[in-house]
Amino acid sequence: NPVVAIVGRPNVGKSTVFNRIAGERISIVEDVPGVTRDRIYAHSEWLGQKFSLIDTGGIDTGEEEFLTQITEQAEIAIDEADVIVFVVSVREGVTDADEKVAKILYRSDKPVVVAVNKVDNPELRSEIFDFYALGFGEPVPISSTHGIGIGDLLDQVCRSFPNTGAEIEDHTTRFSLIGRPNVGKSSLVNAILGENRVIVSSVEGTTRDAIDTPFISANGDEFTVIDTAGIRKKGKVYENTEKYAVLRALRAIDRSDVVLVVLNAEEGIREQDKKVAGYAHEAGRGIIILVNKWDTVKKTNHTMQEFEELIRQEFQYLSYAPIIFVSARTKQRLDQLPQLIKRINENHQRRIPSAVLNDVVMDAIARNPTPTDNGKRLRIYYTTQVAIKPPTFVVFVNDPELMHFSYARFLENQIREAFDFTGTPLHLIERKRK
Ligand code: GDP
């Protein structure tokens, strides 16, 4: 998906613009306990065009004075976005701070759309022409609090997306490693790349693509490891801030087929690990849990089993994710990783023909009858897979209210037993048959 970043000096209304565009269209699977997402990143859609949205104003880059702050926020936008929405305010006109932001944006070759906010009534529209002086073409008048002009703004934004034609078909499996600092993500990336044949890309990528590293595994399969915050410490000030780290992790997850959630065996499971894992789960990606630094753990016969039980207990919503105990230092089991990633990627995009699927569901119903409520029985007419990545099934029923959580889980388990869906979440949607 293309990425849109919102920049502008304080008080122009960036967050309101962000919320207007993000609307209520926040991910449908945000029911993971313990995930309190900072709202600086959202998915949105305009006339069928999907995109991701970043509010750079929500990223506090430190104790800096505000001019330094907005400079850094503009740089984040340039680093991360395909299109930049530069928010200014009709009330104050063009300010010094606006000009400073404009200068930074001007140096990048990213398309910029100027949104003149707080144009709450039509009389103010004539005053937006001053903003031509910023040098980014025709400014778009909006009122984010009243919801005026947002459609025009989004039209303009979508027109500026880099050629939105068909995505390049390639055979690479994209994966990223996420986890809190010091779990060993960069050590693992280096160890993985050290064990496999890295392909030197002949094409100079954009800033963002340049940190993706393609390699070929021993089996001849192609993979691309996507960098996340801190993996190649680039040394910009804002890269050490937590919100920026979260943003980079979310961006990496978005671009991955499979996400490796890295835990540190030496330190056990922390609250932050659950938050990080929650992001990957919410995004509906394939997931593998890597327990790193396994070399540091004193082992008895049961150590691995106990650790596994602890993970299952702490990450109940990730029951589908395989767990692998590794060491970046001794390279233990890293040779198994490419094949496992490949398998999870295949599962994540597995399609089951309706006939086979319905056989499995009908067998399941025969063995465990559907629930009843007040004498009314749930009837399942037909099940069909409507999407992949993650596999999504629609179950046509007489009354969706009758589908209890436990019965839906039973059906999901039956589907998982019949087909290999290890490592991928499954979505089951109940629909009333018309
Ligand atoms: P990141 O912040 O998640 O990228 O973590 P790093 O890769 O920078 O690793 C943090 C520290 O853990 C470094 O001192 C590494 O040398 C160490 N480390 C990483 N992986 C292992 C491992 O498998 N075993 C041991 N003993 N130390 C490790």
CA 239 to centroid of ligand 1, rounded, Å: 19
Average pLDDT estimate for 212-223: 91
3-state secondary structure the chain: CCEEEEECCCCCCHHHHHHHHHCCCCCCCCCCCCCCCCCCEEEEEECCEEEEEEEHHHCCCCCCCHHHHHHHHHHHHHHHCCEEEEEEECCCCCCHHHHHHHHHHHHCCCCEEEEEECCCCHHHHHHHHHHHHHCCCCCEECECCCCECHHHHHHHHHHCCCCCCCCCCCCCEEEEEECCCCCCHHHHHHHHHHHCEECCCCCCCCCCHHHCEEEECCCCCEEEEECCCCCCCCCCHHHHCHHHHHHHHHHHHHCCCEEEEEEECCCECCHHHHHHHHHHHHCCCEEEEEEECHHHCCCCCCHHHHHHHHHHHHCHHHCCCCEEECCCCCCCCHHHHHHHHHHHHHHHCCCCCHHHHHHHHHHHHHHCCCCEECCEECCEEEEEEEECCCCEEEEEECCHHHCCHHHHHHHHHHHHHHCCCCCCCCEEEEEECC
* pLDDT of res. 246: 80
CB of 295 shorter than 6 A to ligand 1: yes
Which fold would CATH assign to domain 173-348?
Answer: Rossmann fold (3.40.50)
Does 128 belong to an annotated binding site?
A: no
Average pLDDT estimate for 308-333: 96
* pLDDT of res. 206: 43
Q: Which tens digits make up the pLDDT trace of 77-126?
A: 888 899 999 999 999 999 999 999 999 999 888 999 999 999 999 889 88
Average pLDDT estimate for 181-194: 91
Give percent above pLDDT 90 in the chain: 59
Contact, 421 vs 413, CB < 8 A? Answer: no
Q: Which tens digits make up the pLDDT trace of 234-251?
A: 566 676 677 777 888 888
Least trusted range by pLDDT, from 86-90, 181-185, 198-202: 198-202
Closest CA to 218 of 54, 339, 125, 362: 339
* pLDDT of res. 233: 52
CA 185 to centroid of ligand 1, rounded, Å: 7
Provide the mean pLDDT of the chain.
87
Looking at domain 354-432, what is its CATH homologous superfamily?
K homology (KH) domain (3.30.300.20)
CA 181 to centroid of ligand 1, rounded, Å: 9
Asked whether this chain's domains 3-159 and 354-432 adopt the same fold, the reply is no
Angle between helices 405-418 and 354-367 (to 10 degrees): 120
* pLDDT of res. 318: 95
Does position 228 have pLDDT exceeding 80, yes or no? no
CATH number of the 3-159 domain: 3.40.50.300
CA 328 to centroid of ligand 1, rounded, Å: 7
Q: Determine the residue type at 280.
A: A
Looking from the CA of residue 190, the nearest atom of ligand 1 is 7
Does position 222 have pLDDT exceeding 50, yes or no? yes
Does position 74 have pLDDT exceeding 70, yes or no? yes
* pLDDT of res. 231: 52
Domain ranges of the chain: 3-159, 173-348, 354-432
Give the mutation target among 186, 187, 240 for probing the ligand 1 site: most ligand atoms within 8 A of CB: 187
Of 65 and 232, more confident:
65
Q: How confident is the model at residue 16 (pLDDT cuts 50, 70, 90)?
A: confident
Q: How confident is the model at residue 200 (pLDDT cuts 50, 70, 90)?
A: low
Query: Which pTM was predicted?
Result: 0.80
CB of 228 shorter than 6 A to ligand 1: no
